[in-house]
Amino acid sequence: MDLNYIKKLVKLVADSGVDEIELEEEGKRIRIAKHQALRPVAPAALPATQDLLVPVQANPSGTPVLPQPIPVSTPPTESEKRLHEVKSPIVGTFYRAPAPDASPFVQIGTLVETGAVLCIVEAMKLMNEIESDVSGKVVKILAENGQPVEYGQSLFLIEPA
Question: Does residue 23 contact residue 30 with C-beta atoms inside 8 Å?
Answer: yes
In terms of pLDDT, which residue wins out, 32 or 74?
32
Residue 15's φ and ψ, nearest 5 degrees, are -85, -15
The torsion defined by the Cα of 149, 117, 157 and 154, in degrees rounded to 10, comes to -20
Q: Evaluate whether residue 66 is within a structural domain.
A: no
Higher pLDDT, 110 or 35: 110
Query: Is residue 130 domain-resident?
Result: yes
- Would you say residue 156 lies in a domain? yes
Query: Based on the domain organization, do 26 and 97 belong to the same domain?
Result: no
pLDDT, position 36:
54
- Please check whether residue 108 is in contact with residue 141, taking contact to mean a CB–CB distance below 8 angstroms: yes
CA-nearest of 151, 133, 139 to 83 is 139
Domain around 23: 3-33
User: Do 28 and 84 share a domain, yes or no?
Assistant: no
pLDDT band at 4 (very low <50, low <70, confident <90, very high): confident
**Whether the Cβ atoms of residue 114 and residue 134 lie closer than 8 Å to each other:** yes
Q: How far apart are alpha carbons 3 and 32 in whole angstroms? A: 13
Number of domains comprising the chain = 2
E-assigned strand segments in the chain: 20-25, 28-33, 57-58, 64-65, 84-87, 92-95, 111-112, 117-123, 126-131, 136-141, 148-149, 154-160
Is the residue at 84 inside a domain? yes
- On whether residue 111 sits in a domain, the answer given is yes
- Please check whether residue 108 lies inside any domain of the structure: yes
pLDDT digits (tens, 9 = 90+) for 69-104: 555 545 555 555 689 999 999 999 999 999 999 999
- Identify the band that residue 15 occupies on the pLDDT scale cut at 50, 70 and 90: confident
pTM of the full predicted structure?
Answer: 0.51
Whether residue 79 contacts residue 155, with contact meaning beta carbons closer than 8 Å, is answered with no
Q: 154 and 86, same structural domain?
A: yes
